[in-house]
Structure 1
């Protein structure tokens, strides 16, 4: 069984005023305990060099969802040989509020700015910080094999930003779409083309209550609108010979990717109850994400074969390919 450990780091976000200009990172990696005095006294274990250089996955959080909520997933991916990074950036949200944010450049999401630069300013600073890290993973990361995993708004900005980060080889999102708010100057019901030149995996739950709870933001009626994630798959992504996937998980809700759910923050109060066992849903999510990333970051034929078997899982309500 793989031992997974983590270390912390920080990234400065240019163009933002203190104290809202720093993202605090946590980096999860496969470790090799050695029983040394250094290990005993510091609590830091050496990384296992056998899998190096390791591909990297960056988890881009939903609004006001702390990075600890994704620790379970980061550990699962690190155990599969993918060094996984989570981060908390407390910055400016909509309406002048402050909270945990994936970072949204509103001007980059307006009609005259979209497609000219990433809609989140956090990705390149996080990658730059990883390149300067000291400690157990120093020199063991592959800077050219990077994946983005985004939840909710974090998934939206990942889809809107990936091609501006040339190291990104795959994007996976949960509960995310590229529909854009009318307050930014777009017509009601606008779905923006994804900015991703790589395979994309969209995952959605059949019991997502949060997405419809935001319908008015996009000038739509929650009762009559077409599903934004289905529209994103059909309208925002190109055909990629079946490498782009839309997978729906039976009974999963918007916060199925989060454990535990923090009911003091974010918008879990809008969600529908989960059907089935949330732990089993997380197991399936980890398997789907890990296999998708191993397929496209490590080019493992056996990972691709496992992905084909996974789509027959009883927890998957439907799957589409492009």
Structure 2
């Protein structure tokens, strides 16, 4: 008897920038069927489970210098609920001449004279084009529903998603952990400016009460560490009217949904984690995605009653 498991495959796409810093390497997680045949044994390639295909697609953007495999458990948990989940690594320009892992940011698009006219993350468009190609290629031929897309992200990845989503017409939901739309003063904005999110769909924001990275970055925005929470400000000030959720997780930190790499990124700034935020926020995210991408009435009911020890705000 066949069984459904989560498998993944790799893909690549050229993005903006100069070679060799112009390539994103994708990891695509999908529900697969295990048959035990010789092709699986010899290649390690599994066919997608056709039961619920085509699957809505979730494109997830990493934080700066956070490798995509840091999100493997989170991505797999979402895929288990009937989604194709895409993560990627892209080494490119950061700030001040540095290079590292980045979702890709068009800094000019985030300046006062341009914000809101185009996405701040050109990589999104390139990856969606690549997924259309992948959907015409074995083994995932026809398995992706590119008319039902969610954009998600962590930290800077979540920020550019919030700044870019409305420019992609098939995006039906957005979610982010440890992300906000406060903008750096170096781009020409006044201290403490919250930019309006570029979204036209439901948004789920998540944050932990022990987020040391957001706290330790306050001076970028011309503020002190005792400022109001930027994620909550984004929820109340930056989002248009809609079916939005804010989940505040007691005891969780900035890397609560990731397996942090102590040799990279800024996990050294983070607060202590005293809870399993990954499993809890993954559960909430899957309900949110099932409600808005699969239009599940059951998921909507569960979402309305969701608690799990989080502080949930709705608007």
TM range (shorter): over 0.9
Aligned to 2:64: 63
- Specify the alignment match of 1:7 in structure 2: 9
- The answer to whether residue 209 in structure 2 is matched with residue 206 in structure 1 is yes
- Per-residue CA deviation, residues 235-257 of structure 1 (Å, 9 max, x unaligned), is 101221xx111110111000001
Structure 2: runs of 5 or more not aligned: none
Partner of 2:119: 118
CA RMSD of aligned residues (A): 1.0
CA distance in 2, matches of 1:180, 1:110: 9
1:41-67: per-residue Cα shift (whole Å, max 9, x none)? 111011111111100001100000000
Question: Are 1:258 and 2:258 counterparts?
Answer: yes
Residue 190 in 1 paired to residue 193 in 2?
yes
Residue correspondence of structure 1 range 1-322 to structure 2 within 5 A: 2-14=4-16, 16-133=17-134, 134-223=137-226, 225-240=227-242, 243-259=243-259, 261-276=260-275, 278=276, 281-310=277-306, 312-314=307-309, 316=310, 318-322=311-315
- Are 2:29 and 2:75, in contact at CA under 8 Å, matched by a contact in 1? yes
Residues 64 and 101, structure 1, Cα contact 8 Å, conserved in 2: yes
Cα distance in 1 between the residues matched to 2:273 and 2:78: 23
Unaligned runs of 5+ in 1: none
Q: In the TM superposition, what is the alpha-carbon distance from 1:34 to its structure 2 partner?
A: 1.6
| Range with greater deviation from structure 2 (262-271 or 34-43) | 34-43
1:207 touches 1:275 (CA, 8 Å); kept in 2? no
Q: Deviations over 1:5-51 (max 9, x none)?
A: 0000011103x110011000010000011222111111101111111
Take 2:179 and 2:11, find their aligned partners in 1: how far apart are those partners? 27
Q: Secondary structure of 1:59's match? A: strand
Q: What is the Cα deviation at residue 95 of structure 1?
A: 0.8
Contact 2:205 2:247 in 1 (8 A): yes
- Number of residue pairs aligned between Structure 1 and Structure 2: 311
**Equivalent residue of 2:162, what SS?**
helix
